[in-house]
Structure 1
């Protein structure tokens, strides 16, 4: 295994190394800005749990009127609560969108990333199982809030932070989702150029322009049309990507050498912890801020255990298998592992026969487009939850415009900007972990369904601004930043400031590369929330529920 920072070159030769957890510094000095983008790329392909018919409701902003019913139409649902009469499906159906969301040939690259921490195959496999299943279990818990309240994740978060107090996490969530949809559009555009260059068809400006037009057209169209159209697109992407990924695996089986895999030496506790944090942030923790967006169509009577179980199983099954094969592939050749770390698309393409390169670029680009489409949908909902009074499809169009402009800038103007941008998004990832801890604790403390009408009323039981929750996220974030190191951008050198005062060896010590700050932020939010929230939640739950389950009416938000 190579130990140089070449694992994460961020230039046009190796443009695929992105997503927020991956910028956390690795034990050998490299920074894996590659991985979490790949997790995002794998998400979001499957059929919905029910339909997106609009309730007979007083719509919140972004839900101006009822949808037209089945067929190809623009979804008019926004951040309103779905009426009980329009909720349908069972928890079992959650398996399909979550499974399809995580089936992609790019998931194989995680084998190289995890082994790059300097751990053995057995340690890496254990880290993968615990990290993938454990992090998606958090998504399963948050998905329960969706079936309880039938509103988007960042609206349900108002129960913990207050109606206007939730603007802070909503803003962070919007920045992250619109940022990562831009990153994935960039990667899809450059993926086409990379494979076309390998085929000898060129890979210059003209190819990139055409690729950008196709990618942006699919992503923006899906985001504007909304949930039903997105899920139909994702169903097609799921089948195509799944079949072509199986084809890839069959074609590269002869690159696996068991003796080389078994000979990989074990690593220290710090390296194992670092790999675990990396996997958790690359998979489930990168998805928690939108986890309830897909369970909100389930009936209120749906089993909470079923929602958790099927969400976790569906989302974990494919990544576990892909990681296993990726570990075998990367562990068989140090040279191949190094190449995958630097440029997953190029490295994986190089071990394929030429005749399979076109199917390969199709599977790679579709995976990236699938992730970006879901990001644009969730980023639009996050934008509406900030209080912007426009229809949902207009919010998606705004986000799509930002995505296109960002892609043009990075691909055609300033390619080296990507590392700086990645560092910014990584820095925002720590407060999302803190937010996740607060919301999970708040959800665990509640025994009754949400009073969904009052999620839009700052004079209601959830209040206007819950300063204790906001302060907790701020404190947990500061602690988290103090315990991570980030080499994606020089302006982030201030991070890791608590490593030396706490006796963890400073920024050059072994614990610096474990990136404990992510876990600390998550646990601080979760463990401290009951100290501030128990009494207020009990007071809220003695009040009668102010929702009409027949209409799911939601007044205009303040």
Structure 2
């Protein structure tokens, strides 16, 4: 039996003929599961080949690391985080459903709404951030060209960017996969061109002279990289593997996710470390307008190709986010067609972009504060889901994913309690690095002083102590979620699969 749960179906045939995916959160028919593991390369590579990745070199060096420490952090943080995405993606081919529907197995059909809300928020945040980046980059490049870069330019850029993101997301999986395969080549070639044209900006003497940072700073940078790359996508990883054949080995799913997600970011962040370490002025500009600042070191003739490639890469990433945020919205019980859900999230994206671009003086600080806050519960959720997958020997009972009376039940209170406890503990061990610009988030870090890991200086809005900025809470939330599930849920999973 095929489970349908995606709202009204009137006029679906006309929609299908227009090339729009009508499949929502229901199980994918076996006849439609024709994707190969290598097909996963296109969406993940295209979404992560953006030149914005170069700006992360600045953020890594912001922890006060040397060249070799920053290199280690970048490579390990990116690869490990996308490998975790690959593990979650195995669920897609074992269950033929979106990520948040699959997480009903460990949390219960109704209990999944708790992580679902956090997933929806982080997806909305990412896609809005990428739209903001594209809009600001357009204005900066126009200024470098001597063209108009004022309010009118930003408005037009925002409309074009939002329209591209929403149109592709509404069209759905098959259109997105074709689009990403084209964007991979365009953005990849443009990024290679950027590196070739700016390599003379690198000052190896300055970069190699950077002193070593503390071990705590290395851990903090590592967590930041994990959160900014693979952990930023982990809550949607199975959305793109649900069209894979059931016979596909899980190792191939993990390998292609890891390779595709990591390949471009590793190169870009390492190059960004070299650029940021060579120029304090460039590093300072990246904090305010990452992509636009990167354009300032280019020859004028390459600015237009750079702008097009940068916008397309950012749009590519936002499309993945808004497509999945629409699926997450449906998983929360909203009874509308998938294209409508994507459109609603597109409206929210547009409103968020308008606010930040035209009314907010800064966006990077609040965004990073928002990201680390949501990163804690998502890390706890990821630990729970990966452990649950490791405990299961069989494919998911697909009908039970939609039935509160089925084998997964309505609420799995131990899993919910695990996520809540792991998040509360995790939030107590991460700090708001932007106390002045995001003061609403200064409640975090409440366990740091009691545990003797640091002291908050309220007058100046910063923490003292080597461990304060290590953001141990993200790693601890993941570890608690994973270990608690392995220990507490083994019997439950065995009973569900009639192995007890």
Sort the TM-score into its range (normalised by shorter chain): over 0.9
Partner of 1:523: 479
Question: Is the 1:476–1:521 Cα contact (8 Å) retained in structure 2?
Answer: yes
Question: Is the 1:67–1:75 Cα contact (8 Å) retained in structure 2?
Answer: no
CA distance in 2, matches of 1:304, 1:485: 36
Work out which of the residue numbers 271, 280, 287 in structure 2 matches 1:325. 271
Work out which of the residue numbers 84, 91, 97 in structure 1 matches 2:43. 97
Q: 1:69 to 1:412 in 2, by over 3 A?
A: closer
Greater mean alpha carbon deviation, residues 68-77 or residues 86-95 = 68-77
Partner of 1:399: 345
Partner of 1:57: 2
Question: Is the 1:195–1:357 Cα contact (8 Å) retained in structure 2?
Answer: yes
Question: Is the 2:26–2:97 Cα contact (8 Å) retained in structure 1?
Answer: yes
CA distance in 2, matches of 1:67, 1:325: 48
Q: 1:414 to 1:316 in 2, by over 3 A?
A: closer
Give the deviation of 1:235 after TM superposition: 2.5
5 Å-filtered alignment, 1:48-127, equals 57-62=2-7, 64=9, 72-127=18-73
Cα distance per residue 1:354-398 (max 9 Å; x no partner)? 111111211221122111111110000000000111110111111
Question: Is the 2:64–2:213 Cα contact (8 Å) retained in structure 1?
Answer: yes
Question: Is the 2:42–2:184 Cα contact (8 Å) retained in structure 1?
Answer: no
Structure 1 unaligned segments of length 5 or more: list them: 1-55, 545-558
Q: 1:358 to 1:279 in 2, by over 3 A?
A: same
Give the deviation of 1:259 after TM superposition: 2.4
Question: Is the 2:51–2:291 Cα contact (8 Å) retained in structure 1?
Answer: no
Give the deviation of 1:537 after TM superposition: 0.4
Partner of 2:175: 229
Pair 1:496 & 2:452 matched? no
Pair 1:514 & 2:470 matched? yes
CA distance in 2, matches of 1:486, 1:461: 41
Partner of 1:26: none
CA distance in 2, matches of 1:248, 1:259: 22
Partner of 2:86: 140
CA distance in 1, matches of 2:253, 2:244: 9
Q: 1:73 to 1:453 in 2, by over 3 A?
A: same
Partner of 1:301: 247
Greater mean alpha carbon deviation, residues 486-495 or residues 266-275 = 486-495
CA distance in 2, matches of 1:147, 1:492: 38
Work out which of the residue numbers 156, 159, 169 in structure 1 matches 2:102. 156
Work out which of the residue numbers 155, 163, 178 in structure 2 matches 1:209. 155
CA distance in 2, matches of 1:150, 1:204: 47
Aligned with 1:213: secondary structure?
A: helix
Greater mean alpha carbon deviation, residues 199-208 or residues 436-445 = 199-208
Work out which of the residue numbers 490, 496, 499 in structure 2 matches 1:540. 496
RMSD: 2.1
Q: 1:99 to 1:71 in 2, by over 3 A?
A: farther
Give the deviation of 1:416 after TM superposition: 5.0
Cα distance per residue 1:34-55 (max 9 Å; x no partner)? xxxxxxxxxxxxxxxxxxxxxx
CA distance in 2, matches of 1:91, 1:205: 44
Give the deviation of 1:67 after TM superposition: 6.7
CA distance in 2, matches of 1:387, 1:513: 38
5 Å-filtered alignment, 1:408-419, equals 408-415=354-361, 419=365
Partner of 1:548: none
CA distance in 1, matches of 2:491, 2:99: 23
CA distance in 2, matches of 1:386, 1:165: 10
Question: Is the 2:287–2:364 Cα contact (8 Å) retained in structure 1?
Answer: no
Pair 1:505 & 2:454 matched? yes
5 Å-filtered alignment, 1:148-547, equals 148-415=94-361, 419-420=365-366, 423-488=369-434, 489-506=438-455, 507-542=463-498
Question: Is the 1:63–1:392 Cα contact (8 Å) retained in structure 2?
Answer: no
Q: By percentage of residues, which structure has more helix?
A: 2
Give the deviation of 1:79 after TM superposition: 0.3
Cα distance per residue 1:144-178 (max 9 Å; x no partner)? 00110010000000000000000111111111212
Greater mean alpha carbon deviation, residues 291-300 or residues 398-407 = 398-407
Structure 2 unaligned segments of length 5 or more: list them: 456-462
Provide TM-score, normalisation by structure 2. Answer: 0.93
Give the deviation of 1:465 after TM superposition: 0.6
Q: 1:421 to 1:265 in 2, by over 3 A?
A: closer
The number of equivalent residue pairs is 489
Aligned with 1:376: secondary structure?
A: helix
Question: Is the 1:67–1:77 Cα contact (8 Å) retained in structure 2?
Answer: no
Cα distance per residue 1:117-146 (max 9 Å; x no partner)? 111111111111111111111001001001
Question: Is the 1:78–1:392 Cα contact (8 Å) retained in structure 2?
Answer: yes
Partner of 2:459: none
CA distance in 1, matches of 2:215, 2:310: 34
CA distance in 2, matches of 1:468, 1:58: 27
